[in-house]
Amino acid sequence: MIFHASPGIIDLGINIDHVATLRNARGTTYPDPIAAALLAEEAGADLITLHLREDRRHIKDADVRALRPQLRTRMNLECAVTQEMLDIACDIGPQDVCLVPERRQEVTTEGGLDVVGGFAKVQAACKQLADAGIRVSLFIDPDAAQIEAAAAAGAPVIELHTGRYAEATDDAELRAELVRIETAVEEGIRWGVRVNAGHGLHYTNVQPIAAIAGIHELNIGHAVVAHAVFAGWQNAVREMKAIMVASRLSSTTPAAAHPGVPV
């Protein structure tokens, strides 16, 4: 089996933010994140993820607008729950928008969106995006209350924040976080939402997450960009997809069907 061409087993979303970070470090026009996205598609990426932050620290508005008509797969646009960002998303029309928390002083996204605490705002954002024909995803911690709130807010998709799992410092903590994610996946399925995951995943910790049958999609960026320095960009994408698919296929957990869960 050609693992990087195995649709329907588990999807790989390649995040191109840090290609843009490298470009912006010198204020040049290269490396081009759009070229990186198109090459990633050729190498087996099932979708392209990019985060248009309020401070535009990596991806720029022009990147999103230029990339949208060129993609052959899907665009998953990450953005904060602000009116400016929602209006930009509705204007560009990506297939998916993932709503994320955002603080200007953070190096990267530090946790999940608090849907419980900001329910009315998130619910309104979900409706605006849905009315524009955009599928909405909420980036949340693997927490039962947040999952219930996400479903109630009208989000058909959740993306579980895997940061605590990725940052675990010993086997006991790692196992506890993995169980937490597995439980959250089952909770998401119970509420009838599609479950994705991501954040901090790399070539040696992605296997247990990719093996969880209820997860449809993993979004990975920094690790692939870093690995590409040594392995080459398309090889790095192919290797990650192969690891994910092999982990799912070798999982002892049967890939049971989940009626009513959106694909």
Return binding residues for 1-deoxy-D-xylulose 5-phosphate: 17-18, 53, 58, 108
The C-alpha atoms of residue 150 and residue 116 are separated, in whole angstroms, by 8
Which segments are annotated as binding site for 3-amino-2-oxopropyl phosphate? Answer: 15, 26, 200, 221-222
Start-end of H helices in the chain: 17-26, 33-42, 61-67, 83-92, 119-131, 144-153, 163-166, 171-190, 206-210, 222-231, 233-249
Helix 144-153 / helix 119-131 crossing angle, nearest 10 deg: 40
What is the end-to-end Cα distance of the chain in Å, rounded?
A: 23
Q: Can 51 be counted among the known catalytic residues?
A: yes
Half-sphere exposure of 138 (CA within 13 A, CB side): 33
Beta bridge pairs of residue 50: 77
Q: Are 187 and 164 in contact (CB under 8 A)?
A: no
Catalytic residue among 199, 216, 227, 258: 199
133: which 2 tokens? 């024909």
The C-alpha atoms of residue 221 and residue 201 are separated, in whole angstroms, by 9
Catalytic residue among 51, 161, 216, 258: 51
Q: Can 78 be counted among the known catalytic residues?
A: yes
The C-alpha atoms of residue 110 and residue 119 are separated, in whole angstroms, by 20
Q: Can 161 be counted among the known catalytic residues?
A: no
Instruction: Catalogue the active-site residues.
Output: 51, 78, 199
